[in-house]
Structure 1
Amino acid sequence: MEMMGSADSLDPRLSAEQTTQSNGSPYEDYPDGPPPLKRARPSFVKPAQKNNVQDNSLAESSQAGSSTSDPLDYPRRRATIACEVCRSRKSRCDGNRPKCKLCTELNAECVYREPGVKLDAGDKLILERLAHIEGLLQSTLLRSPTSGGGPISPATSNTASEDLQSKRLSASLAPGYGTLPLSGMGINLAINISTMPKAHTNHAVHLLQWPVIRDLVSKPCDPQALMQTELARPPLDLQPPYSLDLDLAGKPSSYARSFFEKVNVWYAVVNPCSWHAHFRTASAVGFRSGAETCVVLLVLALGQAAHSGHSISRLPEGQSVPGLDYFNAAWLVLPSLMIRNDALSAQCHILAAAYLLYIVRPLEAWNLLSNASIKLQLLLANQSAIPPQVKELSERVFWNALMIESDLLAELDLPHSGIVQFEDSMRLPRSFPYDATIAGADELPGEDDLWYFLAEIALRRLLNRVSHMIYSQKRTSIPSLEPVVAELEFQLNQWYEGLPPSIRFPRERLPARDQVQTVLRLRYFACRTIIFRPYIQAVLQDETLAQEPAVQTACQKCLEACVRQLENISAHHDGHLPYLWQGALSITSQTLLLMGATLSNVLSTLLPPRAQIDLVINDVVAELDKLGHLAPSIRLCADIVREAEDRRQVLMQRPR
Structure 2
Amino acid sequence: MMPQCRALLGEYPEEFFFKVEMNRPRAWAVRTMMASDLDNLTDSVKVPWVDGNRFLESYFKRVHPFHPFLDRDEVRELYEDTMHKGIGIDNSSALVLAILALGATVSDAADLKPELRTGEAFIQQALKILFASWTFTFSGDVIISQALTLCSLYFTYAVEPLMAWRLIHMASTSIQQLFSRCKNLLSSEPEVQTLTRLSWVCFIIESDILAKFHQPRSGIELLVDRLPFPNYGEIPSPENLYALADISARALLNRIHHALFFTDSLTIYSGQSLDNVSSSRIPILNPDASHLRVCEELSRQLEAWYDSIPDVIKPDLNGNPVGSRQTCLLRLRYWSAKRNIFRAFVIYVTSRKWEGEEVPQAVLEMCEICLHASRMFIVMA
- Where on the TM-score scale, by shorter chain, does this alignment land: which range? 0.7 to 0.9
Q: CA deviation at 1:397?
A: 1.3
Q: Distance in 1 between matches of 2:102 and 2:288?
A: 46
Match 2:371 to one of 559, 562, 567: 559
Give matches, 1:137-216, under 5 Å.
none
Deviations 1:324-376 (A, max 9, x none): 12212322321343133221211111111111222222222222222212211
Q: Select which of 266, 279, 290 maps to 2:79.
A: 279
1:479 aligns with 2:279: no
Q: Which has the higher contact order (CA 8 A, sep 6+)?
A: 1
Q: Distance in 1 between matches of 2:317 and 2:196?
A: 32
Aligned length: 312
Q: CA 1:385/1:485 → structure 2, altered by over 3 Å: closer, same or farther?
A: closer
Normalised by the size of structure 2, how large is the TM-score?
0.74
Superposed counterparts of 1:430-579, under 5 Å: 430-431=231-232, 449-473=239-263, 476-540=286-350, 541=352, 543=354, 547-566=359-378, 568=379, 572=381
2:195 paired residue among 382, 386, 394: 394
Cα separation, 2, equivalents of 1:482 and 1:534: 10
Which one-letter code corresponds to 1:466 in the other structure? I
Distance 1:518 1:244, change over 3 A: same
Secondary structure of the corresponding residue to residue 505 of structure 1: coil
Q: Which moved more, 1:508-517 or 1:265-274?
A: 508-517
Q: What one-letter code is carried by the residue in structure 1 that aligns with 2:126?
A: A
Pick closer, same or farther for the CA change 1:407–1:318 going to 2, 3 Å. Answer: closer
Q: What is the deviation of 1:256?
A: 1.2
Contact 1:288/1:333 (8 A) holds in 2: no
Residue of structure 1 in register with 2:109 after alignment: 311
- The counterpart of 2:150, out of the listed 351, 359, 377, is 351
Whether the 8 Å CA contact 2:203–2:221 is kept in 1: the answer is: yes
- CA 1:305 to 1:396, structure 2 compared with 1: closer, same or farther past 3 Å? same
The alignment status of 1:428 with 2:218, answered yes or no, reads no
User: How many Å separate the matches in 2 of 1:305 and 1:318?
Assistant: 11
8 Å Cα contact 1:431/1:448 also seen in 2: no
CA distance in 2, matches of 1:336, 1:537: 47
Tell me the secondary structure at the aligned position of residue 492 of structure 1. Answer: helix
Q: Is the 8 A contact 1:271 1:448 kept in 2?
A: no
Distance 1:416 1:361, change over 3 A: same
Alpha-carbon displacement from aligned partner over 1:224-280 (angstroms, at most 9, x marks no partner): xxxxxxxxxxxxxxx969563241xx1322221221121011221221020232124
Q: CA deviation at 1:283?
A: 3.3
Native 8 Å contact 2:69 2:198 kept in 1: yes
Residues 1:260 and 2:56 are matched in the alignment: no
Cα offset, 1:511, TM superposition: 3.1
* Structure 1 unaligned regions, length at least 5: 1-238, 433-446, 573-656
1:324 aligns with 2:124: no
1:588 corresponds in structure 2 to none
Contact in 1 for aligned 2:114/2:120 (Cα 8 Å): no
Give the CA RMSD over aligned residues: 2.8
Decide whether the 8 Å contact of 2:346 with 2:367 is kept in 1: yes
Contact persistence 1:529–1:558 (CA under 8 A): yes
The reply to whether residue 376 of structure 1 matches residue 178 of structure 2 is: no
Structure 1 SS opposite 2:86? coil
Please tell me whether the aligned partners of residues 46 and 87 of structure 2 are also in contact (alpha carbons under 8 angstroms): no
Confirm or deny: 8 A CA contact 1:522 1:565 kept in the other structure: yes
Q: Secondary structure at the match of 2:239?
A: coil
Query: Which secondary structure does the structure 2 equivalent of 1:383 belong to?
Result: coil
User: Partner of 2:225: helix, strand, or coil?
Assistant: helix
2:213 aligned with 1:417, yes or no? no
Structure-2 residue corresponding to 1:404: 205
Report the alpha carbon displacement of residue 560 of structure 1 after superposing the two structures with TM.
0.7
Cα deviation, residue 399, structure 1: 0.9
For the pair shown, the structure with the greater C-alpha radius of gyration is 1
Work out the CA distance in 2 between the residues paired with 1:477 and 1:559. Answer: 16
User: Does residue 1:300 correspond to 2:100, yes or no?
Assistant: yes
Question: Where is the helix percentage greater, Structure 1 or Structure 2?
Answer: 2
Amino acid at match of 2:297: E
